Amino acid sequence: MSHSHDHTDPPSDTALRVKALESLLVEKGLVDPNAVDALIDTYEHKVGPRNGAKVVARSWSDPDYKNWLLKDATAAIASLDFTGRQGEHMKAVENTASVHNLVVCTLCSCYPWPVLGLPPAWYKAPPYRSRAVADPRGVLREFGTELPDDVKIRVWDSTAELRYLVLPERPEGTDGWSEKDLAALATRNSMIGVEKAKTLGNATT
């Protein structure tokens, strides 16, 4: 990222523009700043990829739940109380030894908010959006993900209001693990499909 994080920098033009816009909208009674705070707080502190990790861990632990998730992801995910904006119509796509799924939104930044929160900066930026559909293996390599040549890649471009969650492969050597421990292996990136789930060797990194 080229953005500076130095807090001693003077406010940028954009920061001033946003500040002026907020004070105008508040003055006009169009926006309640406490509602803005609540919107931000929801996605900064309450809704994020730990939700999706619980869905994945449940699927790894419970074959009936996994079948339900693959058949009707919206209902299966709602049963864990993850619902709402940008997750109204969910699809889960399963990675196996022979199939690897990757999710992108080439036209904007569509992403399953209730299970993954707001998307990371790279997901919304032109390099990923341009190349995920045209060179998925090259994109995966940039995340350190090398797949055997015979693995079939499926790229999902979220052009409508369906939102895709990748169900990563369950790492080997996790038989008998609790859902809580399994959830720690389901990273955000593995649920977008740019990486595999963590393995035992890097579970604590």
**Site residues (CB under 8 A) for other proteins, limited to 122-151:** 122, 124-131, 133-134, 136-137, 139, 142-143
Which tokens go with 89? 């119509």
If binding is defined by CB under 8 A, does position 184 make contact with other proteins? no
In eight-state DSSP terms, residue 199 is: -
Say how many C-beta atoms besides its own lie within 10 A of residue 152's C-beta. 10
CA distance 79 to 16: 43
Give the count of residues interacting with other proteins (CB under 8 A): 81
Tokens 């996994």, located at residue: 66
75 lies in the binding site for other proteins (CB under 8 A): no
Report DSSP letters for 14-35, one per residue.
Answer: HHHHHHHHHHHHHHTTS--HHH
User: Given the complex with other proteins, which of 30 and 173 has the nearer CB atom?
Assistant: 30
Q: Does 22 bind other proteins (CB under 8 A)?
A: yes
DSSP label at residue 54: H
Stretch 86-105 residues interacting with other proteins (CB under 8 A): 86-89
Selected binder of other proteins within 71, 85, 199, 203 (CB under 8 A): 85
| 35-54 residues near other proteins, rule: CB under 8 A | 35-40, 42-44, 47-48
Show which residues are catalytic.
105, 108-110
